[in-house]
Amino acid sequence: MKIDICYTPELIHQFDVSDKCVVVIDVLRATSCMVAGLGSGVKSIKPVATVEECEALGAQGYVMAGERGGKKLDQFDIGNSPFDYMQSQFKGKDIAATTTNGTRAIELSKEAPEVIIGSFLNLSAIVDHLASQSRDILLFCAGWKGRYNLEDSLFAGAICDGLKKHAEFTSDAVTAAFYLYESMQKDLFYYISRSNHAARLSKFGILKDIEYCSRTDEFEVVPKLNNGALTI
Ligand code: MLT
């Protein structure tokens, strides 16, 4: 199987997702939240592009989650912290989520036959899943407002490292991410906390989110998109 990386949603038009297994990646913090929530007993998460769509689902009984610019929206039940999603009161609940970049990347992947959700929190589960299937793989980094980011690229490199015996590296994008991870894997938190998005989030005083999102293999789940909702 072949593996490639799309570093930002602005580049997705260059890729054909119609026959790929797409891994959506937004380490800080959307896909880490989704993994943490579903791994802690949340029933489903419906990613939506707009605040209005989220509010409409809230009126139907969904828990409303999300952020804009990293900040929780006042009218929402929870923001975009993995600790929000892991609260025991949300076990068995359906969550509707909208975020600046992560839910947009999921929306842009929906023509793919398989869309799964990756973060360092479920790294090994993602690698094992990808190694056991036969489709070509696209690692889709959510980035930040169309720009490249460090933490998603680092995680893409971690997947490439895990699949180096299974997948054919087909692009400079993959080689670059592989060696990025090789050079930074010894202290993921150190490097992730030096990313632009960590600096952006620092004004909200959530260093604990960044530390948590830098942990590996807290959950064995592989969230999948089915009929517009993520479940495990
Ligand atoms: C996003 O989707 O852009 C992020 O998850 C932003 C954040 O850290 O809240």
- Cα-to-centroid distance, 143 and ligand 1 (Å): 9
Mean pLDDT of the 89-106 span: 96
Alpha helices in the chain (DSSP H): 30-39, 51-59, 82-85, 102-108, 123-131, 150-162, 172-184, 188-192, 196-202, 207-213
Cβ atoms of 32 and 119 closer than 8 Å: yes
% pLDDT > 70, the chain:
100
Residues 6+ apart with CB under 8 A from 193: 207, 210, 211, 214
Mean pLDDT of the 26-38 span: 98
Report the pLDDT value the prediction gives residue 205, as an integer from 0 to 100.
84
Q: Pairing relation of β-strands 20-25 and 114-118? A: parallel
Atom of ligand 1 lying closest to residue 104 CA: 2
Q: How many CB atoms lie within 10 A of CB 199?
A: 10
C-alpha to C-alpha distance for 165 and 75, rounded to whole angstroms: 47
Report the pLDDT value the prediction gives residue 138, as an integer from 0 to 100.
98
Report the pLDDT value the prediction gives residue 69, as an integer from 0 to 100.
84
Locus of tokens 């015996």: 165
The protein residue with its alpha carbon nearest to ligand 1, atom 7, reads: 70
CA 87 vs. chain centroid, Å, equals 19
Atom of ligand 1 lying closest to residue 103 CA: 2
Q: How confident is the model at residue 232 (pLDDT cuts 50, 70, 90)?
A: very high
Which of 124, 142, 133, 131 minimizes the C-alpha distance to 195? Answer: 142
User: Could you confirm whether domain 2-225 is CATH 3.60.20.40?
Assistant: no
C-alpha to C-alpha distance for 70 and 51, rounded to whole angstroms: 14
Mean pLDDT of the 25-33 span: 98
Mean pLDDT of the 47-52 span: 94
- Cα-to-centroid distance, 202 and ligand 1 (Å): 13
Q: Is 29 in the pocket of ligand 1 (CB under 6 A)?
A: yes
Q: Is 81 in the pocket of ligand 1 (CB under 6 A)?
A: no
Token couple for 129: 């899943």
pLDDT in tens, 114-172: 999 999 999 999 999 999 999 999 999 999 999 999 999 999 999 999 999 999 998 99
Does the pLDDT of residue 108 top 90, yes or no?
A: yes
Token couple for 66: 């999300």
Does the pLDDT of residue 182 top 90, yes or no?
A: yes
Q: Is 218 in the pocket of ligand 1 (CB under 6 A)?
A: no
Q: Is 9 in the pocket of ligand 1 (CB under 6 A)?
A: no
Report the pLDDT value the prediction gives residue 203, as an integer from 0 to 100.
87
Which of 131, 184, 137 minimizes the C-alpha distance to 157? Answer: 184
pLDDT in tens, 85-95: 999 999 999 99
- Cα-to-centroid distance, 134 and ligand 1 (Å): 31
- Cα-to-centroid distance, 27 and ligand 1 (Å): 8
